[in-house]
Amino acid sequence: MIAHRLHRDEAMSLDQFGLDLEQNPRRAARWIIHTASQGEIEAQALLGQILLDGRGIGQDQSLALKWFAIAAARGHAMACNMAGRCHEHGWGCPINFPLACRYYQQGAVLGLDWAMYNLANLVATGRGVLQDQAQAYALYHQAAELGHAKSMNLLGRYLEEGLVVPADSAAALDWYRRSAKAGDFRGQFSYAAVLITQQRWDEARHWLIEALATGHLKFMRKARDELLTARIESIADITMAYVSRCADIGEQGDRLLARKFAATRPGPLEIGA
């Protein structure tokens, strides 16, 4: 899988055109190219997407950005978001945080939750714009109210830590719960972490296993390290599962750590829901 492949709900969709990009990507790409050249804005944004991903057409990040910019200039919200991502991550262009911010702002004004979230990330870290945690919180809140799962998790973090808003553990738990149920692996882990402090073991185990199923390596390592540090015997098997998963998809250091940890655990690994 391409490293920058988008979450399914962030990527463009061909459903409205009755085309199956996975089953017949070249045919879909030919249709998109033809329709984009005729000025269809959705096809222009889609052309940027398939060029970025290399689906049905040769990958060309620079050309992808050009098509995103064309559609963005015409008011396509997701194209604004994707042009922002290109400039944020250096896909087909040098990294340019201020320009990424401008594209995200345009997408946010058009009501796109992903643009609000991506803009909030830059505002929260002061990349391309003055750092402003209050503004970042407001953007995350706006996106969360639109159903954006990752923003829900971050709202929970602000409320749990009392960052720019009064600490509110009950509200934080509610946002973590909503994020977890919406399918965000970080939200699932955050929710489980609070459930553990409440000794709600069955629920905590469920959400830890859910997060394990979909989290990427960077997240998995952080979660593994937190679980190893906590050393909670009631979820030792799940801790081992995180350690093993990192070993499976990670590097030599992850495998060495897994062997070291396994040596301290008797018996085979069994995970119960």
> What pLDDT, in 10s, does the model give residues 80-117?
999 999 999 999 999 999 999 999 999 999 999 999 99
The chain-wide mean pLDDT, for the chain, equals 91
Phi/psi class of residue 56: alpha, beta or left (left: φ > 0; alpha: ψ in -120 to 50)? left
Instruction: List, in order of start, the domains of the chain with CATH numbers.
Output: 1-106 (1.25.40.10)
> What pLDDT, in 10s, does the model give residues 125-140?
999 999 999 999 999 9
Contact between 80 and 104 (Cβ < 8 Å): yes
3-state secondary structure of 215: coil
Cβ atoms < 10 Å from Cβ of 241: 19
Q: What mean pLDDT is predicted for residues 151-168? A: 98
Owner of token pair 């396509």? 76
What radius of gyration, in Å, describes the C-alpha atoms of the chain?
21
Whole-angstrom Cα distance, residue 116 to residue 108?
A: 5
Which ranges constitute the DSSP H helices of 38-184? 41-53, 61-73, 77-89, 97-109, 113-125, 133-145, 149-161, 169-181
User: pLDDT-based confidence at 19, cuts 50/70/90?
Assistant: low
